[in-house]
Amino acid sequence: MSKTDTTIVNTEIKKTKSRTTTLTGNGGELHQTAGKNHPELTTNQGVVIADDQNSLKASVRGPTLLEDFILREKITHFDHERIPERVVHARGTGAHGYFELTHSLEKYTTAKILTETGRQTPVFTRISTVAGGSGSVDTPRDVRGFAVKFYTSEGNWDLVGNNIPVFFIQDAIKFPDLVHAVKMEPDRGFPQAATAHDTFWDFISLTPEAMHMVMWIMSDRTLPRSLRMIEGFGVHSYRLINADGHASFVKFHWRPKAGLQSTIWDETVKIAGADPDFHRRDFFDAIAAGDFPEWELAVQLFTQEEADQFPFDHLDATKLIPEELVPLTFIGRMVLDRWPDNFFAETEQVAFCPSHIVPGIDFSNDPLLQGRLFSYLDTQLSRLGSANFHQIPVNAPRCPFANNQRDGHMQMTQATGRVAYEPNSLDKDAPREQAVKGFKSMAEPVAGDKGRIRPESFADHYSQARQFYASQNETEQAHIIAALIFELSKVEHPHISEAMVGHMLHINEELARRVAVGLGIKVLPVAPPVLVEVQDLPVSPALQLIGKMKDTLAGRVVGILIDEGSDASILEKLKAVVTSADAKYKVIAPRINSIHLSDGKETKVDVQLAGSPSVIFDAIALVLSSESAKKLEHDMTSIDFVRDAYSHLKAIAYDAGGDILLNAACINKDVAVISTNKLKDFLTAAKTRQWNREKLVRPLV
């Protein structure tokens, strides 16, 4: 706003009756500071705006005028700011980064992304929950979507997977039913982001093929500590095609550098309240701190002949290929090192489609994958509103692309010339097909009767569920049982829970019995009939979670509780050992300012105790003066802080004051409740959870 304009507006207003409050600009009361090169504020048509604080009125207290095109443009744009959220996977966190190939698959494929070692290919990765809306919390019990867009030199390749290697259903025609069952119930609009309700378990109890996936989602895999600490799986078999046109099958796996790590259910529930953005914030903080999330990419490669020998059908997405049967080959790494500039433009508008593949990679006949090849393109058209969604920067290929597709809503490119067709003789420089390097589907012979058919080889719904359960250790099995009891206890119709217990009888009788006891089901139901005999497959340690946790504190956070008079030297030592373990710390106190340590110096406090329960830390330390501890023992927030850390199996370090608080919280000291005199031991204990403690704090049925 120029000085002259302000004066004119002011003069006009000041002429009105004296009882009127006259405000121009921001009222002259708030002063914004402007940089030296700030652009002029304009309308979308480029007209410079004189007053962005007041709408145009007929008189000082009169009606607003319809002719105020500036107001209308601003409000109209605002009214249309939201686009339809994703029907599933609406809540997600994304980041840019790169993929670097370390091991060439030249023998198997011509795809440059899988053959050119050392090349860094840009990626955009979005990790999501499935059931909740875009504003739902980060930590429901849910599968995590794991979608990677590789901007390869041969076009975009989207690997759209999950953090679980199998899926609920075998045929895409059941996907709308699955999603309708899991989403909030349509008559009441709840529960949000939860499987613990009748419609989900009703559908599942009538869908035996889901039982393997049920074992995975009831495990702690669906309660990740951090998005940096989950695995990713392409789920389906894909094909790789080499220079001779020879095809082999491949399954893709992402392995987190930080190792797997999950939370305890009670902890997860409390995190949802303490920080609904827990995972997004953790990802943001890690990237900001240069602690870049990283995964290795691995493949399982196998031939048709080998697949014919598997005791299951690899085209069935409810089955996995145990690593013991087809070992992983590690071929590269993905590093996410850049947070998006704009959440909406990138994370919201990114459009993944499993149909986006590049020459040298091809689909398999997995009927779930085949349905997905249609669904994603279709959903982007309604979600992003135009067939030109590939022109949005986050979706645009980073290699040259040209064709004769034209026009459409929001066309951003301005094609020149007369020719928009092919073949043509008028423009010799128009885009032409390339028989040699272009994409080719595998020339697979197809014969048989057309029909709505489910292969017999898809009929075994329980053997891999049984294998998964048998492969878990005692703690993991106990968590699956507790999860099933919790989920089914929310189901109002007893016949649904009973049907679920019936399915469990095929997986493990002890599992079924313990869940039945937990639900108060007195007589075990009859197991449903099976189409094929359930097999006892060999135990697969690779299916464990706890076994795959890394013995490390790297990337984790230790919460240090202090107050007035805390010992300055203990605090310094703690900070140093935590940092030396590549971990972070947060200093917590009842107040965020003016805390003085034993040396009389004021110290920086990161977060306030009331808003920072111990659930958001991986281990805690109590550094307190006796006077402070005696005050804090009457404050339930600090008692909960300690008790939760203990019951969530975390390591606790304490000094003399901390000991007073531990006693007030009635904590039975064990090997992981350690004096600050033994900080090395504390570090070792903090690297893992105290699984042995669990029986003492959470009796299981």
209 in Cβ contact with 169 (< 8 Å): yes
Q: Of the listed pieces 1-9, 375-383, 400-408, 587-595, which binds ligand HDD according to CB under 6 A? A: 375-383
Question: In angstroms, how far is CA 372 from the centroid of its own chain?
Answer: 20
Decide if residue 392 touches ligand HDD (CB under 6 A). no
> In this structure, are strands 652-654 and 619-622 parallel, antiparallel, or unpaired?
parallel
Quick count: other Cβ atoms within 10 Å of Cβ 376? 20
Query: What CA–CA distance (Å, rounded) separates 268 from 648?
Result: 10
User: Closest approach of Cβ 231 to ligand HDD, in Å?
Assistant: 12
**Of 31, 37, 38, 89, which one is the catalytic site residue?**
89
Cα distance between the two ends of the chain: 71
The pair of structure tokens assigned to 407 is: 């026009």
Decide if residue 162 touches ligand HDD (CB under 6 A). yes
Decide if residue 172 touches ligand HDD (CB under 6 A). yes
Decide if residue 503 touches ligand HDD (CB under 6 A). no
The question of whether 163 is a catalytic residue gets the answer: no
* Cβ distance to ligand HDD smaller for residue 70 or 87: 87
* Whole-angstrom Cα Rg for the chain: 30
User: Closest approach of Cβ 388 to ligand HDD, in Å?
Assistant: 16
Query: What CA–CA distance (Å, rounded) separates 659 from 677?
Result: 13
User: Closest approach of Cβ 352 to ligand HDD, in Å?
Assistant: 4
Residue nearest to ligand HDD (CB): 145
What is the H or E stretch that residue 608 is in?
Answer: strand 607-608
Decide if residue 376 touches ligand HDD (CB under 6 A). yes
* Cβ distance to ligand HDD smaller for residue 167 or 468: 167
Q: Of the listed pieces 157-165, 188-196, 254-262, 582-590, which binds ligand HDD according to CB under 6 A? A: 157-165
* Cβ distance to ligand HDD smaller for residue 60 or 206: 206
Decide if residue 352 touches ligand HDD (CB under 6 A). yes
Decide if residue 128 touches ligand HDD (CB under 6 A). yes
Footprint of ligand HDD on residues 188-247 (CB under 6 A)? Answer: 235
> In this structure, are strands 247-256 and 294-302 parallel, antiparallel, or unpaired?
antiparallel
Mask 58-87, x = binds ligand HDD (CB under 6 A)?
----------------------------xx
113 in Cβ contact with 100 (< 8 Å): no
Query: What CA–CA distance (Å, rounded) separates 599 from 527?
Result: 69
Q: How many residues does the chain have?
A: 701
Decide if residue 88 touches ligand HDD (CB under 6 A). yes
Contacts of 101 (CB under 8 A, 6+ apart): 113, 114, 115, 116, 117, 118, 119, 121, 331, 332
Decide if residue 458 touches ligand HDD (CB under 6 A). no
Query: What CA–CA distance (Å, rounded) separates 200 from 207?
Result: 11
The question of whether 162 is a catalytic residue gets the answer: yes
Decide if residue 181 touches ligand HDD (CB under 6 A). no
Decide if residue 336 touches ligand HDD (CB under 6 A). no
Query: What CA–CA distance (Å, rounded) separates 142 from 133?
Result: 13
Mask 282-301, x = binds ligand HDD (CB under 6 A)?
--------------------
Contacts of 42 (CB under 8 A, 6+ apart): 48, 49
Decide if residue 131 touches ligand HDD (CB under 6 A). no
User: Closest approach of Cβ 213 to ligand HDD, in Å?
Assistant: 10
Query: What CA–CA distance (Å, rounded) separates 621 from 642?
Result: 9
Query: What CA–CA distance (Å, rounded) separates 205 from 208?
Result: 7
**DSSP H helical ranges for 311-422:** 367-384
Decide if residue 157 touches ligand HDD (CB under 6 A). no
* Cβ distance to ligand HDD smaller for residue 375 or 675: 375
* Cβ distance to ligand HDD smaller for residue 125 or 219: 125
* Cβ distance to ligand HDD smaller for residue 368 or 499: 368
Task: Give just the sign of the alpha carbon dihedral 679, 683, 686, 688.
Answer: negative
* Cβ distance to ligand HDD smaller for residue 372 or 650: 372
User: Closest approach of Cβ 379 to ligand HDD, in Å?
Assistant: 4
* Cβ distance to ligand HDD smaller for residue 356 or 466: 356
170 in Cβ contact with 317 (< 8 Å): yes
Cα three-residue angle 224-213-371, rounded to 5 degrees: 105
**Of 156, 162, 395, 508, which one is the catalytic site residue?**
162
Residues with a catalytic annotation lie at: 89, 162
Binding site for ligand HDD (CB under 6 A): 86-89, 92, 126, 128, 145-147, 160-162, 167, 172, 175, 235, 317, 350, 352, 368, 371-372, 375-376, 379
